[in-house]
């Protein structure tokens, strides 16, 4: 899988006759909505865990010194909380560029807080993409995040925005909480 997924994503869904699509965001898409949306609702998906196992060559790092950003790892029974956006399919032109570094749109079942569900898409960077860094300890992840930076800014800012956004939503993600504690130790 190439590190540029724009073409692959364009070929994935045709959205024939569809004027609205749900998108589930679990990383920067929670706190950086730089796109038009019709509606936004806190939501969760089942069977996936958020992990800082994806490398970032284009936003929070460089190809030579990648940053570490969020992806989803298949994990039966796990819950990942985030934000769902109802968007028009044209918005994927922008999103595919933004998420081009290894992320592919995948179909997920989104559960809203009131119990409603909807089918939607989430950008997931799987273990077969070239930028994938994989599992390591949360203290290693924190040390990595503390030193990385890229065209979109410091890796640490990406992480902190996400940790703060989850707090605002009243959600606790043990992986995020553990990295945050490790980052506090680094100072
Ligand atoms: C997402 O936020 O849903 C995808 C990963 C990211 O852009 O941080």
pLDDT digits (tens, 9 = 90+) for 140-155: 999 999 999 999 999 9
Instruction: Indicate which residue's Cα is closest to atom 5 of ligand 1.
Output: 27
Q: For residue 92, how many other CB atoms are within 10 A of its CB?
A: 22
Beta-carbon-side half-sphere exposure of residue 29 (alpha carbons within 13 Å): 34
At the top level of CATH, which class does the domain 6-181 belong to?
Answer: alpha beta
Q: Is 99 a catalytic residue?
A: yes
Q: Which two tokens stand for residue 56?
A: 């970032």
Give yes or no for residue 1 having a pLDDT over 70.
Answer: no
69 Cα distance to chain centroid: 7
Whole-prediction pTM value?
0.96
* Contact call for residues 46 and 111 (beta carbons, < 8 A): yes
Tell me the CA–centroid distance for residue 16 and ligand 1, in Å.
25
What gap in Å lies between CA 141 and CA 46, rounded to an integer? 24
| Predicted confidence (pLDDT) per residue in 10-57, tens digit | 888 778 788 999 999 999 999 999 999 999 999 999 999 999 999 999
184 CA distance to ligand 1 centroid (A)?
A: 23
Cα separation, 23 vs 123, whole angstroms: 9
């Amino acid at each position: 899988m190439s590190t540029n997924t724009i073409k692959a994503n364009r070929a994935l869904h045709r959205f024939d006759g569809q004027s609205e699509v749900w998108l589930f965001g679990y990383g920067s898409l929670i706190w950086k909505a730089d796109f038009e949306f019709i509606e936004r609702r806190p939501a969760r998906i089942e069977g996936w865990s958020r992990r800082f196992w994806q490398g970032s060559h284009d936003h929070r790092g460089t190809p030579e010194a990648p940053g570490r950003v969020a992806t989803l790892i298949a994990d039966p029974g796990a819950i990942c909380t985030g934000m769902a956006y109802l968007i028009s399919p044209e918005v994927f032109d922008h999103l595919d560029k933004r998420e081009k570094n290894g992320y592919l749109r995948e179909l997920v079942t989104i559960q809203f807080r009131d119990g409603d569900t909807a089918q939607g898409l989430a950008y997931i960077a799987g273990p077969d993409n070239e930028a994938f860094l994989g599992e390591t300890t949360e203290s290693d992840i924190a040390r990595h995040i503390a030193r990385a930076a890229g065209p979109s800014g410091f890796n640490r800012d990406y992480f902190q925005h996400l940790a703060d956004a989850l707090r605002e939503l009243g959600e606790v993600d043990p992986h995020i909480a553990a990295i945050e504690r490790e980052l506090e130790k680094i100072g």
